[in-house]
Amino acid sequence: MDAVRIGLQVLLVLGGLFLTLLILLHKGKGGGLSDMFGGGMSTSLGGSSVAERNLDRITIAIAVVWFTCVVALGVLDRFAA
């Protein structure tokens, strides 16, 4: 059981770091602090590119893995003997 727990903890940390990186790679949608300081001057073409959609999909997949690790660790802690 300890090997599973250590594996999940490592996956949780790596997933969290990778998820942070992916979120920072997303293009800003406006209305935040970047607009307040003049960062929102770029015009958008209205649609999202293939790269942006793929980045969204990868981010969601990593978030699901991260959430699954959190739930699995909680279940292991709950039923640990």
Among 5-9, 44-48, 59-63, the range scoring the smallest mean pLDDT is 44-48
The band of 7, judged by pLDDT with boundaries at 50, 70 and 90, is very high
pLDDT at residue number 43: 53
pLDDT at residue number 28: 74
Quick one: tokens of 40? 């929102």
DSSP of the chain: -HHHHHHHHHHHHHHHHHHHHHHHHSPP-SSSHHHHTTGGGS---SS--HHHHHHHHHHHHHHHHHHHHHHHHHHHHHT--
Mean pLDDT of 64-78: 96
Which among 2, 10, 24 is positioned nearest to 80, based on CA atoms? 2
